Amino acid sequence: MGYVAVRGGGLAIEESLKLLEYQRAHSGVTLEPDAIRRAFPDAIDQVMGESSLYAPDLAALALKQARGSIEEAVFLLRAFRSTLERPYVSRAVDTSEMRVDRRISAAFKDIPGGQVLGATRDYSHRLIDFDLAHETPEDQRECAAELERHFGIEEGALDEALLAADTPTEGSASEGRYPKVLDYLRSEGILPICDNDDAEPVDVTMGALEFPCARSARLQTLSRGMTQAVEAFGYAAIRGYGPSHPTVGELRHGMAEVCVDVPGEERCDAEDAYYLGSIPLTEVESVFEVETEEAGVTTLSFEIGYGLVMGGAETKAIAMSVLDHCLDLGDARYPTQDEEFVLYHVDGVEAQGFISHLKLPHYVTFQSKLDTVRTARSHESDAEGSGAAPSDAEAADVEAHAAESDGGASPDEASAAVDATVDEKER
């Protein structure tokens, strides 16, 4: 079979892009990115988390351009980040210093500082609120004002708080800093106390994944993974394709400070670092019961799976903690414990890119497959012809298949699509 280079379709692509833009503009509604950022914070969190880039305003703009498609917005943001320099690496963020606004434990009822629900849908009725269909800006303002009165944060409350600022009420908890729940088990010796491991982490954005991979590469890949993929694999692990049911020792959400050392200084004191701002994080420590056998004696102990994600993606953070533990176990019988299976398939841009490529022209490879099938069928027919003649129904079936295959793409369509591939690569 020979190859023939074809081109064409440029005009069709231009018209297609215009049609796409027309559909966006024709909707008759335009939203300011700021409005998108404020109205859909969870979607913004998902875009930033999967893009692995904290930039709320850009995420909102990407979501607008992508017409609400998370995967497209993630693609846009990942592409944008690749155009920027990265001159700084932050000091290691210590999550025990987070300013926490939600913190719960499924392991202990009574924890130092208490179980703080924060703002959560966990205990809400999942019923559509039809009143929102007709909500006006005025309705929204009234609702906010009423709740501000309820919480005591109406106008003037800050002045009162300023007066009271010199007399904090609950020690560190009043600033939103809480001890780690699992430190209790560490203090009892049930969980090991680890020293800081300052080994330089692997950066998966700077090179291809290599297996077996460092835990730092694993955690980074899971954290930037496609939300639903991480959740699906974590779910599968709990359902029987991995270790037993974990217990969420602690789930906390809050703001963590990002600081960088003075450039050029090897040992910079933490208090001399530059503060850049704070980012919202959700962290999970899950506890797994494990059996270990030594000298014929089986003992029970606990191990921790760790999850940390940008924003408030709690389910993803829990699933990440499950997968972190799964990949630590590394039992090849379970797909959720197979690093290559999990880490190669959770990245949204990789998955979307690979699956989307199936839409692009495969005319040559498919023609080759078609030739093979036709040849095989022809041989079968010959063999059957030398014996009994095929029935009318069998002959009609062969012809129908042949007609269907031939009717796939006209030469013109083929050239248009080939050109589309070329243009896509150039872009």
Partner 1 sequence: MRRRERTRILVDGDRSLARSMAAEVERAFPVEVLDDPREGLVMVKVRESAKRQTFYLGEALMTSCRVKAGDAQGLGIVMGDDRELAFDLALIDAAFARDGGPIDTTRWEERLRAERARIDAERALEQAVTGNTRVDFSTMEVEL
User: Which residues inside 36-55 make contact with partner 1, applying CB under 8 A?
Assistant: 48-49, 51-55
Binder among 247, 278, 315, 381 for partner 1 (CB under 8 A): 278
Between residues 258 and 402, which has the closer beta carbon with respect to partner 1?
Answer: 258
Strand 274-294, strand 297-310: pairing: antiparallel
Between residues 109 and 427, which has the closer beta carbon with respect to partner 1?
Answer: 109
Between residues 5 and 92, which has the closer beta carbon with respect to partner 1?
Answer: 92
Cα(269)–Cα(204) distance, integer angstroms? 28
Between residues 21 and 148, which has the closer beta carbon with respect to partner 1?
Answer: 148
Between residues 231 and 285, which has the closer beta carbon with respect to partner 1?
Answer: 285
Instruction: Indicate whether 189 belongs to the interface with partner 1 (CB under 8 A).
Output: no
| Helix, strand or coil, per DSSP, at residue 41 | helix
Specify the residue for token string 């694999």: 233
Q: 227 with 235: CB under 8 angstroms?
A: no
Residues 3-32 that bind partner 1 (CB under 8 A): none
Q: 34 with 60: CB under 8 angstroms?
A: yes
CB of 303 to partner 1, least distance (A): 8
Q: Is 100 exposed, middle or buried (0-12, 13-18, 19+ CB in 10 A)?
A: buried
Binder among 6, 41, 72, 114 for partner 1 (CB under 8 A): 114
Sign of dihedral through CA atoms 84, 90, 95, 98?
A: negative
Binder among 31, 143, 153, 395 for partner 1 (CB under 8 A): 153
The Cβ-side half-sphere exposure at 337, using a 13 Å CA radius, reads: 15
- Give yes or no for a cis peptide into 212 (omega within 30° of 0): yes
AA letter at 26: H
CB of 23 to partner 1, least distance (A): 29
Give the number of residues in contact with partner 1, rule: CB under 8 A.
96
The Cβ-side half-sphere exposure at 341, using a 13 Å CA radius, reads: 16
DSSP annotation of 270: G
CB of 57 to partner 1, least distance (A): 7
Assigned token pair, 102: 């939600």
Instruction: Indicate whether 273 belongs to the interface with partner 1 (CB under 8 A).
Output: yes
CB of 120 to partner 1, least distance (A): 8
DSSP annotation of 182: T
Cα(311)–Cα(320) distance, integer angstroms? 14
Between residues 12 and 55, which has the closer beta carbon with respect to partner 1?
Answer: 55
Instruction: Indicate whether 117 belongs to the interface with partner 1 (CB under 8 A).
Output: yes
Q: 102 with 120: CB under 8 angstroms?
A: yes
CB of 141 to partner 1, least distance (A): 19
How many Cβ atoms from other residues are within 10 Å of residue 336's Cβ? 25
Residues 305-324 that bind partner 1 (CB under 8 A): 305-306, 308, 310, 324
Q: Which residues pair with 100 in a beta bridge?
A: 254
Between residues 109 and 359, which has the closer beta carbon with respect to partner 1?
Answer: 109
Residues 354-393 that bind partner 1 (CB under 8 A): none
Between residues 74 and 416, which has the closer beta carbon with respect to partner 1?
Answer: 74
CB of 15 to partner 1, least distance (A): 34
CB of 76 to partner 1, least distance (A): 14
Between residues 48 and 418, which has the closer beta carbon with respect to partner 1?
Answer: 48
Binder among 180, 226, 318, 342 for partner 1 (CB under 8 A): 180
Instruction: Indicate whether 143 belongs to the interface with partner 1 (CB under 8 A).
Output: no
Between residues 215 and 374, which has the closer beta carbon with respect to partner 1?
Answer: 215
Binding-residue pattern over the window 71 to 90 for partner 1, x denoting contact by CB under 8 A? ----------x--xxxxxxx
Sign of dihedral through CA atoms 198, 200, 203, 204?
A: negative
Assigned token pair, 185: 């088990």
CA nearest neighbour of 230 among 351, 408, 411, 373 = 351
Residues 212-271 that bind partner 1 (CB under 8 A): 215-217, 219-220, 223-224, 256-260, 262-263, 269-271
Binder among 93, 290, 364, 402 for partner 1 (CB under 8 A): 93
Question: Which H, E and C letters describe 313-355, residue by residue?
Answer: CHHHHHHHHHHHHHHHHCCCCCHHHCHHHHHHHCCHHHHHHHH
Instruction: Indicate whether 112 belongs to the interface with partner 1 (CB under 8 A).
Output: no
CB of 121 to partner 1, least distance (A): 13
Q: 324 with 219: CB under 8 angstroms?
A: yes
